[in-house]
């Protein structure tokens, strides 16, 4: 169970739009292509809204290894090493109803870095296929996703890498807790500062010319 519960001091409470914007800008600052940055912003806000830790896994994802190239294939994806959860997530959603996707029989993804970032995209896949899925790591279920609910069974946010297989399932295990939308919990100032530093890399310093064009010349004392 990964609900944020500990008391956080020295922290900042971000709104969901701020979470989304920070994650998008940080991903761009870390060098991800715009296409994945939009999905990164969406995924971070999606996790935050459900009380799932998003900031540390995001920081790991943006500063750690990028992951191997993803080669989707029916039943079992191929790669030359652990794959990035963001890339795997959007690929999973894009291929949801195609033979390479989870479809009606499931798919094995292999080793996935920061697998919590798979979760939002698996919900897209579940909505497209109308199928509920169970995520399995080393034979143990850790995730249940359907178009109507979500249950996370262990500290998936702390999981830096996991063997991930997705299997169709019929019902949510009663021991799992459905996560409903809630206000995002605060994140530590340190994590915020590191993500913000990444985000600043996609900005451009103002010049005198740009300030003048934006209206800096002249008095506003009308």
The binding site for another protein (CB under 8 A) comprises 12-18, 25, 33-36, 38-39, 42, 70, 72, 87, 90-91, 93-98, 124, 127-128, 183, 200, 202-207, 209-211, 213-216, 218, 220-222
Residue 78 gets which letter from DSSP? B
CB nearer another protein, residue 148 or residue 210: 210
CB nearer another protein, residue 54 or residue 95: 95
CB nearer another protein, residue 96 or residue 162: 96
Alpha carbon separation from 195 to 24, 103, 127, 161, 203 (Å, rounded): 10, 35, 31, 21, 14
Dihedrals φ, ψ of 156, to 5°? -70, -30
Strands 187-188 and 11-12: antiparallel
> Cβ distance 32 to 208 under 8 Å?
no
Smallest distance, another protein to C-beta of residue 1, A: 24
CB nearer another protein, residue 98 or residue 173: 98
DSSP-assigned beta bridge partners for residue 167 = 134
Smallest distance, another protein to C-beta of residue 120, A: 10
CA dihedral 70, 151, 35, 108 (to 10 degrees): 10
Smallest distance, another protein to C-beta of residue 220, A: 4
Smallest distance, another protein to C-beta of residue 135, A: 19
Quick one: which of 27, 76, 19 has its CA closest to 51?
19
CB nearer another protein, residue 62 or residue 159: 62
Quick one: which of 115, 132, 103 has its CA closest to 53?
115
Count of all residues that appear for the chain in the document: 222
Smallest distance, another protein to C-beta of residue 100, A: 8
Smallest distance, another protein to C-beta of residue 169, A: 22
CB nearer another protein, residue 132 or residue 136: 132
Quick one: which of 140, 187, 210, 194 has its CA closest to 19?
187
């Amino acid at each position: 169970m990964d609900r944020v519960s500990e008391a956080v001091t020295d922290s900042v409470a971000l709104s969901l739009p701020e979470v989304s914007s920070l994650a998008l800008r940080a991903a761009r600052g870390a060098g991800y292509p715009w296409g994945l940055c939009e999905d990164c912003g969406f995924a971070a806000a999606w996790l935050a809204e459900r009380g799932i830790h998003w900031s540390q896994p995001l920081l790991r994802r943006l500063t750690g290894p990028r992951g191997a190239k993803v080669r989707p294939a029916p039943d079992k994806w191929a790669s030359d090493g652990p794959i990035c959860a963001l890339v795997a997530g959007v690929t999973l959603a894009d291929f949801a109803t195609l033979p390479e996707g989870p479809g009606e029989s499931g798919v094995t993804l292999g080793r996935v870095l920061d697998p919590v970032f798979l979760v939002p995209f698996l919900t897209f896949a579940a909505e497209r296929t109308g199928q509920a899925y169970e995520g399995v790591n080393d034979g143990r279920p850790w995730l249940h996703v359907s178009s109507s609910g979500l249950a996370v069974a262990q500290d998936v946010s702390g999981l830096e890498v996991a063997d991930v297989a997705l299997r169709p399932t019929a019902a949510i295990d009663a021991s799992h807790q459905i996560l409903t939308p809630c206000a995002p919990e605060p994140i530590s100032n340190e994590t915020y500062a590191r993500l913000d530093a990444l985000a600043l890399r996609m900005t451009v310093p103002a010049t005198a010319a740009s300030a003048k064009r934006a209206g800096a010349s002249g008095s506003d004392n009308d």
